[in-house]
A and B are shown apart, each in its own frame.
Chain A
C-alpha cells in the first residue's frame, strides 16, 4: 500500500482517503495520485483524527460505512474543528443516509460505483479556489471578501465553510436573479447533478442558520416557491 500513498510535501493538493476496503482504498490512492493529488489512506474511523492533524488535508474523501466509529460521527468530528471540504462515498443511494451525511457536515457525496472522471471532477470542484482577486463585496450589512475568503455580518465574522461561502457569494453576485436549484448545483457544486436538490436544501439550511437572524423566518435568502432562492440585502 505504501506505493499508493504519497507523503511528499509539495504544492499538490492533499486528500485524506478514509475507507475500510483495502482494495478500493488502494485504487483510490492510485487514481488520485495519477491526477496529481497527494493521497493519504486511513482504514478505520478511529485513526482519522490523528491522520487529520498530522496530514493536514485540503479535502477528505470519507466512506460512510466504516467499522468502529461510523462515517457520520467522523464527519461531525472533522467539521467541529475544520471547514475542510468533505466528500462522502456511499454505497447506498437511499436518501435518508445521504441526507444524514450531508447534515453531519459533508459538502457533497458520490455513490458507488462511480467513474474516475466523475470522482476527480467533484474533488476538483471542491478544491477550486476563486483565486482572482476581487474587491470585497458589500451587501447590506454583510461584507464578503473573496480574497481572504471571509464573511462578516454587522462587523461580526461568520464561520462559513468554503462551500457555504461559494453558495452565499453566488446568490449575492446577482440579487435581482432568482437562482433555481439546478443553477446553484451547476454554479456552486461545479457539475451537473440532475435534480439532486437535497444537496442544495441541506446546505441552504446550514447557511441560513449561520447568517440569518431567525433561520425559521429567513430574510437574507428568500425562498421563491416552486422556483428557487434569491438574496435580499439586509437593512
Chain B
C-alpha cells in the first residue's frame, strides 16, 4: 500500500491545508451558485464603468480649474514683471546698501501689504553672477527659495520671456500645497546686472475643490456599484428562487413522492415553467401508476392462474399415474396411451411451472429467500443427480473441498445447477461432466462443463433465449425455458450466468454469484474460474 502513502503526501504546514480547503470551498460555491457569479460579475463590470467615467470627469474638471487659474496668474505676474522692470529702469543705484534696500522695497511693493490676504508671493534672485551658483535671494513673507523648481530657475536665468511651471511649496505649518511658479529675467540698465523674479501662486483652493469633487465621485461611484450589486442580487434571487424550488421539487419527485407539484402564480415565464413541470410530473405519475397497476394485475393474474391450474392438473396427474401404474392390465395401445399421457403431463407440468416462474420474473414479483449456501456442497451433490445417473454420465467435482458460502436462495441455486446438469445430460452427448467451484473475496463461481457437441457461433448467447433449441431434431423433452429461468435466477442475486463453447469440443456454463446479494442493480459478471472454452 505504498502507493496510497504516496498519494497522501508529506504533511504540509497546517495553514496551507486550511487555505486550500477554503479555496476549494470558495471555488465550489462559485461553480454551484449562479447568483454569486451574477452578483460578482455585475459588480466588477459596473465598477469598471463607474471608475472610467469618474476618472474622465475628474480629468476634465481638474483641467478646467487649473487652466483658468494659470491664465489669470500669468497675466498678474506679467503686470508685476513689467512694473518691476520699470522700477529697475528708473532707479540708478550706486551704493550697495541702498541697492539692497531698494530691492527689498520692490519685493514688498509687488507683494502688497504684509497683513492683507494675498494670492501670491514674490521671490527675487540676483544680481545673478554667472560663475557663482547661489545668488542672493529676497523673498516676500515666508516663502522658501527652494520652492522654485531648479529647471525653471535655470531656464529663467538663461532665457528671456515669461516662463511657468507647476510645483509645490511648503507652508509654515509644514503642509505641502500645490503651486504655480511664474518667472522672468529682469535687467537693471544702470548696472547691467540681471535678476530672476518669480511669482509663486498657491493652488490650494483648486486642489481643495478637486479633492471635494474626487471624494464626491468616489463616494457616489462606490454607492452606485454597491446598489447595482444589490439590484443584481435581488433580481437574480427573483429569477433563481423558483428555479431552486423547481430543483427541490424535482429531486423529491425523483425520489418517489410522485404527488409533488409546483405552485403556479401569475402568467410569467416562471409560472409557465411551473405549469410545464407540473404537466410533466402528472404525465410521469400517471405512466408510473399505470405500469404499477399493470404489474400488479399481471402478478395477481399469474397467482390466480397458478392456483386455478394447479388443482385440476394435480387431479389429472394423479389419475394418469394410477392409469400408468395399471398399464400392464391394458391392451398394448391403451397401455402406450397411458405412458404417453403420463410423460406429456410431466412435461406440461414443467412447462407450466417454468412459465409461471418466468412471468413472475417479468412482473418483478420474484423474491429471494436468502440464507448461507455452500456452493461447494451444491457441487458435490451433483454426483447424485438422477438425470446424470440415468444417462450414465461420470461427474468430476473440482474445488469442492473448500467451503464456498454465499448469501443466496438455495432453491433457486439448486434449480440453476439442476438445469445446467440436465442440459449437459440431454444435449451435450458428453459422458463426463465437470463441476468446478472457484472463489474470490466477493464472489463464488460454479462451472458446469461438458465435453460434447459444444456451442458454435452465437449459440453461447442464444442458449438463454426462451424456447430456443440448438437442434430441433434433438429435442429430448424439456421445455426450452430452463436456461432462460436460470439466467433470471442468477441475475436476481446480482450475479450472472454465462455460456462458452467450441463446436465439437465442449461447452461450459458459468454461474457467478456475489457473496452478498446486490440490490443496487449492478451485476457481477467476471467469473473466478478460468474458462476453458472462452
**A contact residues vs B (CB 8 Å cutoff):** 21, 23-24, 27-28, 30-31, 34, 65, 91-92, 94-95, 112-117, 194-198, 226
Contact = CB atoms under 8 A, between A and B. Distances in A.
B318 A65 contact: no
A113 B411 contact: no
A27 B315 contact: yes
Interface string B177-214: 00000000000000000000000000000000000000
B359 to A, nearest CB: 14
Contact of A34 (B303, B317, B322, B405): B322
Contacts of B411: 194-196
Contacts of B306: 91-92
A73 to B, nearest CB: 19
B307 A65 contact: yes
B414 A27 contact: no
Interface centre among A30, A116, A117 (most CB of B within 10 A): A116
B314 A114 contact: yes
A101 B432 CA distance: 43
B307 A197 contact: no
Given A65-B307, A116-B322, A195-B414, A95 B314 contact: no
B321 A194 contact: no
A18 to B, nearest CB: 14
Main secondary structure of the interface of B (DSSP, over half): helix
> For this complex, into which size category does the number of interface residues on chain B fall?
20 to 34
Given A31-B322, A92-B303, A194-B411, A112 B310 contact: yes
A194 B312 CA distance: 26
Given A91-B306, A194-B410, A226-B372, A116 B311 contact: no
B410 A28 contact: no
Interface in B427-465: none
Interface in B300-339: 303, 306-307, 310-315, 317-319, 321-322
Contacts of A65: 307
B116 to A, nearest CB: 114
Given A31-B322, A115-B321, A197-B410, A91 B307 contact: yes
A183 B274 CA distance: 65
A113 B314 contact: yes
A30 B371 CA distance: 40
A218 B164 CA distance: 115
A113 B414 contact: no
Nearest to B319: A27
Contacts of A112: 310-311, 313-314
Residue in B306, B311, B319, B410 whose Cβ sees the most chain A Cβ within 10 Å: B311
Given A91-B311, A113-B310, A116-B321, 12 more contacts: A23-B315, A24-B318, A27-B314, A27-B319, A92-B303, A92-B306, A112-B313, A115-B317, A194-B414, A195-B411, A196-B411, A197-B410
Contacts of A23: 312, 315
Contacts of B311: 21, 24, 91, 112
Given A113-B313, A113-B349, A226-B405, A27 B318 contact: yes
B133 interface: no
Interface in B262-318: 303, 306-307, 310-315, 317-318
Contacts of A92: 303, 306-307
A35 to B, nearest CB: 11
A198 B367 CA distance: 15
A114 B315 CA distance: 9
